[in-house]
Structures are given as structure tokens and as C-alpha cells.
């Protein structure tokens, strides 16, 4: 409100003075405007026409108003600067511009403990993402991390459009309760039919409902936690190995998935024809609902296949470039 007054008061005072001189002294608009400017600015050029008693009284009122307006404007501007108003406005402008350029990004809805953990992982993997949270205080606490963020109601279609959901690759629903997640997924699926939606369900019973609403995958915290605990107990080295391979900072060995695009150079070619680096191991292949492992040299690749590959990150990057060619 103070910023609005800061910008509205000076032109309002100019209009008041100009109209006042036109009505009181019957001057033309240019003379009235000029007299208002030299009176407010106190340059001391003198009166352009002799003033009547009414005109003199109006001038005194205008001078006092200009002093009050000037004092208020200086105080408001000083407070705005001291409170970081300029930096906040510039930061907001840069963020809105960056959000407007987003494409192929992930939308994270909800910034609780789960949402913060998801954002840390996305950030470490270099995946572009946008955080949407309805609590302003929560966003303010994490502002120093530099995440692209929006504050508002994610179940509002127009708000989701502001987050460029039509251009997003994925949405992660991590709202406070299942009902909100269901409504969010319904809205998101309607706005982008190709969107990959991952939802967090509080109970295993909610999985079918969230999938029916349009989620591609549903994760249950209790089932996921139990799965991890038991496998850590029974196969600790296997768990540690795959966690190490999935660590984005690990350059020695990484586990990645690649999709064979349409018209890719490896489409309809066999594994032996690709002459891949011996350091790469294709662990498996996903084709629709089917999964294959123990691939041989005669195994042929098709467009749309998903390759699960283990190897040095540098060689994996080369394979990605081959697929993109």
C-alpha cells in the first residue's frame, strides 16, 4: 500500500494544483500546470500572473500539501530501501521472467519435509523445477536456496497455467492430504494430458484413487520406508551399491535410463552393431509392459525402448549424444 501511495501522490498533487488554478484563477491548462510545478518544486521563479486573494490562499494550501507529500515520499522511499524493497522487486522480476521461460521442467507442489527433500535431489541432479506452495512463510525460509517458486493455490487452473504446466514434463503432488492431491491431479491431467504425474499417498489404499485421478506413479511413505529398511537389512551391500551408482556426484559409475527416440541412429539396430564402449553394461530393456535382461549381441532396439545402462558417467553422456543424433 505504501508503495502505491509513493507513486500516486506526486501525480495526484500535480492534478490537484493544475485543476485548482484553472478553477480559482480561470487560467489556461498550461499556465495552471506550470504554476503548479514551480510552486511544488519551490524554484522561486515567481508568479506567471498576479494572484487573487483566493489564488494566494490556494497557493499556500498547495505548498503545505507539497511539503507533506514530499516528507511522506522520502520516508516511504527510505523505508522501502532499508527493508530491501528494491532487491526484492528485482528478485521477483527475475524470477517471474525465469518462470516464463520454463519448458520441460518439473512442478513440485508442496514444500513440506518431503517437498524439500525432493527439491534438494532435483537441484543436485540439475533438473529444472518450479516449487508451488500456498504458505508464504515456508517459501520465505527457503528463498536463499534460489529455487524458482510461486506462492498460491495449486488447485487453481489459472495458477497452474502461470507455472507453465502445458510445457512441463512432470508434476509431483506432495500436498498436505490425499483429497487435495486428488483434486490437483485431476486439474493437472486436464491441462496437460502428457504430463508425468507422481503422487505421494498417505496410505496404500489411496493408490488406486490417485491412479484413477490420473497419477502415473504413486508412492506410499510407509511401504517405501519398509521396503528400504528390509532390503538394507537383508542386502545392505546391494542397497549401498545402487545408492552409490545413483549418486549424481559419482563420476566413476552411474546408473541411467535412456529412451530410444523416433528415427534414432540405433533404432532397428542390434546391440553388436552399436559397438558401444566395453565399460557400458546394458542391464535391461523396457518395451511397453515387457522387461528384458541378459541382452545378447543380436538383441534389436526399437523406437520407444527404455535402456537401463550402468557405466562411467562420461560414457553414459556419449551414449546420450548418440541417441539424440
Residue range 117-132: mean pLDDT, rounded: 91
Same domain, 204 and 284: no
CA-closest candidate to residue 62, choices 19, 106, 115, 126: 19
Residue labelled with grid coordinates 490556494: 58
Residue 97 lies in a domain: no
Same domain, 189 and 248: no
Residue 281 lies in a domain: yes
Residue range 155-168: mean pLDDT, rounded: 91
The residue among 199, 225, 251 that closes a domain is 225
Q: Kindly state the percentage of the chain with pLDDT values over 70.
A: 92
Q: How much is the pLDDT for 81?
A: 59
CATH number of the domain to which 272 belongs: 3.30.70.1450
Residue range 5-25: mean pLDDT, rounded: 82
Same domain, 283 and 249: yes
The whole-chain average pLDDT of the chain stands at: 85
Q: Which residue has the higher pLDDT, 145 or 198?
A: 198
Same domain, 117 and 215: yes
Same domain, 189 and 300: no
Same domain, 203 and 110: yes
Residue range 208-233: mean pLDDT, rounded: 90
Residue 8 lies in a domain: yes
Secondary structure (H, E, C), the chain: CHHHHHHHHHHHHHHHHHHHHHHHHCCCHHHHHHHHHHHHHCCCCCCCCCCCHHHHHHHHHHHHHHHHHHHHHHHHHHHHHHCCHHHHHHHHHHHHHHHHCCCCCEEEECCCHHHHHHHHHHHHCCCCEEEEECCHHHHHHCHHHCCEEEECCCCCHHHHHHCCHHHCCEEEECCCCHHHHHHHHHHHHHHCCCCEEEEECCCCCHHHHHHHHCCCEEECHHHHHHHHHHHHHHCHHHHHHHHHHCCCCCCCCEEEEEECCCCCCCCCCEHHHHCCCCCCEEEEEEECCEEEECCCCCCECCCCCEEEEEECHHHHHHHHHHHHC
CB 285 within 8 A of CB 302: no
Give how many domains the chain has, as a whole number: 3
Helix 178-191 and helix 206-213, axial crossing angle in degrees, nearest 10: 20
Task: Report the range of poorest mean pLDDT among 58-72, 167-181, 311-325.
Answer: 58-72
Residue 174 lies in a domain: yes
Same domain, 216 and 239: no
CATH number of the domain to which 214 belongs: 3.40.50.720
Same domain, 115 and 208: yes
The residue among 83, 118, 146 that closes a domain is 83
Residue 93 lies in a domain: no
Helix 29-41 and helix 53-82, axial crossing angle in degrees, nearest 10: 60
Residue labelled with grid coordinates 487573487: 52
Q: Which three cell numbers, joined as nine digits, stand for 227?
A: 521396503
Same domain, 177 and 158: yes
Same domain, 107 and 210: yes
Looking only at the bridges linking them, the beta strands covering 281-287 and 306-311 are: antiparallel
Same domain, 72 and 134: no
Q: How much is the pLDDT for 167?
A: 95
Asked if the model's pLDDT at residue 1 lies above 60, the reply is no
Task: List the domain range (segments joined by +) for residue 110.
Answer: 103-225
Tally of residues, the chain: 325
Residue 90 lies in a domain: no
Residue 94 lies in a domain: no
Same domain, 10 and 40: yes
CATH number of the domain to which 43 belongs: 1.10.287.70
Residue 117 lies in a domain: yes
Cα distance from N-terminal residue to C-terminal residue, the chain: 55
The residue among 83, 115, 142 that closes a domain is 83
Amino acid at each position: 500500500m505504501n508503495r502505491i501511495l509513493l507513486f500516486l501522490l506526486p501525480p495526484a498533487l500535480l492534478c490537484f494544483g493544475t485543476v485548482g488554478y484553472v478553477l480559482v484563477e480561470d487560467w489556461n491548462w498550461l499556465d495552471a500546470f506550470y504554476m503548479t510545478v514551480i510552486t511544488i518544486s519551490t524554484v522561486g521563479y515567481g508568479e506567471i500572473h498576479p494572484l487573487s486573494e483566493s489564488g494566494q490562499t490556494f497557493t499556500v494550501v498547495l505548498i503545505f500539501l507539497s511539503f507533506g507529500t514530499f516528507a511522506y515520499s522520502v520516508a516511504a522511499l527510505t523505508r522501502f530501501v532499508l527493508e530491501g524493497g528494491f532487491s526484492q522487486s528485482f528478485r521477483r522480476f527475475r524470477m517471474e521472467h525465469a518462470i516464463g521461460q520454463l519448458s520441460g521442467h518439473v512442478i513440485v507442489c508442496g514444500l513440506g519435509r518431503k517437498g524439500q527433500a525432493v527439491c534438494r535431489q532435483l537441484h543436485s541432479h540439475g533438473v529444472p523445477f518450479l516449487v508451488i506452495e500456498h504458505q508464504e512463510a515456508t517459501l520465505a525460509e527457503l528463498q536463499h536456496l534460489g529455487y524458482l517458486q510461486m506462492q498460491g493455490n495449486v488447485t487453481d487452473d489459472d495458477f497452474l497455467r502461470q507455472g507453465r504446466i502445458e510445457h512441463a514434463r512432470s508434476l509431483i503432488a506432495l500436498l498436505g492430504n490425499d483429497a487435495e492431491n486428488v483434486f490437483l491431479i485431476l486439474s493437472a491431467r486436464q491441462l496437460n494430458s502428457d504430463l508425468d504425474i507422481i503422487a505421494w499417498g498417505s496410505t496404500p489404499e489411496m493408490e488406486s484413487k490417485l491412479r484413477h485421478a490420473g497419477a502415473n506413479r504413486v508412492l506410499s511413505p510407509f511401504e517405501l520406508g519398509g521396503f528400504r529398511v528390509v532390503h538394507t537389512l537383508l542386502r545392505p551391500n546391494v542397497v549401498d551399491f545402487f545408492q552409490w551408482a545413483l549418486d549424481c556426484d559419482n563420476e566413476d559409475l552411474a546408473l541411467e535410463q535412456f529412451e530410444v527416440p523416433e528415427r534414432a541412429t540405433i533404432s532397428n539396430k542390434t546391440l553388436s552393431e552399436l559397438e558401444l564402449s566395453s565399460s557400458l553394461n546394458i542391464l535391461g530393456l523396457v518395451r511397453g509392459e515387457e522387461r528384458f535382461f541378459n541382452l545378447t549381441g543380436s538383441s534389436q532396439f526399437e523406437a520407444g525402448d527404455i535402456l537401463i545402462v550402468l557405466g562411467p558417467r562420461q560414457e553414459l553422456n556419449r551414449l546420450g549424444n548418440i541417441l539424440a543424433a
